[in-house]
Amino acid sequence: MQNTETNRIENKEQLNEDFEQEVIAFLNYKEGGIIYVGIRKNGQVVGVQDVDLTQLQVKDRIKNNIQPSTLGLFDVVVETIDNKEVIKVVISSGTEKPYYLRKKGRTPEGCYIRVGSSKERMTERMIDDMYSKRIKNTLKEIDSPRQELTFNQLKIYYEEHGLKLNDNFLQNLDLLTSEGKYNYNAFLLADENNVSIKLVKYLGTNKMDLVENQEYGYRCIITATQRILDRLDAENTVYAKIEYKGRKEVEMIDKAALKEAVINAIVHNDYSYGNSPIIELYSDRIEITSAGGLPQELSQEEFLEGVTAPRNKELIRVFKDVDLIENIGSGVLRILDAYDKSCFKFMEHFLRVTFKYRENPFEYDQEINQESDQKELSIIQNKILSLIKQNAKITQNEMGKILGVPREKIKYNIAILKDMNIIEREGSNKIGKWKILK
């Protein structure tokens, strides 16, 4: 039967008085869950009459009636099922268990957990045991290494998305410790910090020949993320072919999957030990590695099924506010839409995503009489050869400006052309010239 309740799905015909209890049950459950409002217990879809109002009520009740803070742990979206609009509330497993009703406190009357397809009250022993295992090294309670911080970049990002940070934004975004100091989340989002995300590029398939070693960071982590995504977008070759129906394009790496992998690595990274994500570009693949392994002891199967248990929920909330994250818990599933499960490598203290480069699907559609060496060249390599034919004394900087790509990308592709014995350099870098061998 469709729309049936499970250990991770709860149906509600309407927003009733025990809604918060169901949310708490999923927050305290290791796999989180989903609540549908507008679906009866038997799976019949009845829909929600006033979707906008119900969304606001859901968000307000979760934020104000549940403790500890649920910031970054839930998402509220509208879905259409059987031609009727319903509210879908996606709830992650919490990082500060046990969660409880604000009015009832951390007591059996206020604490619930998911058991099978229903909620149950927790016993005092269960509450004490869960509290004793609460994660102590959340970024919220780690003091910022600096206590003189500014947030001008963060404010600009919010304003660009029609949001305004008021005087209480430090409390609203959980950027303060319980003692009122700037926490590590604030440090990551501040205009200046000492956190950097490394991008390394190699000439071949191993780490023998280093081409580039760049640091993206030392500023608001949103700015660093945007710059990394822009750089990878420039690296991501687009194979194209003109057909009678129009232009057909295929990316070397699926753009949506690449974006999700980078953002997941950044927001789920364990920064508590000073580690940052690293992105490595090889001639045949890209590897994105984040520190911390699987969050909250999730199994590999649960992770690959999209079960959410965020390590840094405050960062996730901010990234969602500025539209870098669409829906909580969708990242892994988006990656698996384009790649199989083997792209993930699980290690004790690290998680790595590897994307193999796609080959040019149009390579053999070129004219038969084109030389085989030329057929194997990429678009940018052919453009470089064309520029050299026009001007043998052209510099790499000039090539980059003409083609609109970074000099590092020109340097990388020239190295490949040299290895293939297609070109060579005669004379010095300043007064020499290029020679085409084939």
Highest mean pLDDT among 237-241, 282-286, 294-298, 299-303: 282-286
pTM over 0.85: no
Taking 70 as the threshold, does the pLDDT of residue 245 lie above it?
no
Task: Give pLDDT tens digits for 255-276.
Answer: 999 999 999 999 999 898 788 9
Q: What digits encode the pLDDT tens for the residues 12-29?
A: 999 999 999 999 999 999
Query: Mean of the pLDDT values across residues 90-113?
Result: 92
- pLDDT at res. 376: 53
Q: State the pLDDT at residue 345.
A: 95
CA angle 274, 186, 350 (to 5 degrees): 30
Domains of the chain: 9-134 (3.30.950.30), 140-189 (no CATH), 196-356 (3.30.565.60), 370-436 (1.10.10.10)
Residue 377 has pLDDT above 80, yes or no: no
Q: What mean pLDDT comes out for the span 201-215?
A: 92
34 — pLDDT class (breaks 50, 70, 90): very high
Q: E strand or H helix at 216, and its extent?
A: strand 210-217
Bridge-based pairing of strands 33-37 and 9-12 is: parallel
Residue 47: burial class (beta carbons within 10 Å; 0-12, 13-18, 19+): middle
pLDDT at residue 219 tops 90: yes
Residues 6+ apart with CB under 8 A from 435: 392, 423, 424, 425, 426
Task: Say whether pLDDT at 135 is over 70.
Answer: no
Cα-based torsion angle of the residue sequence 62, 67, 72, 77 in order, rounded to the nearest 10 degrees: -10
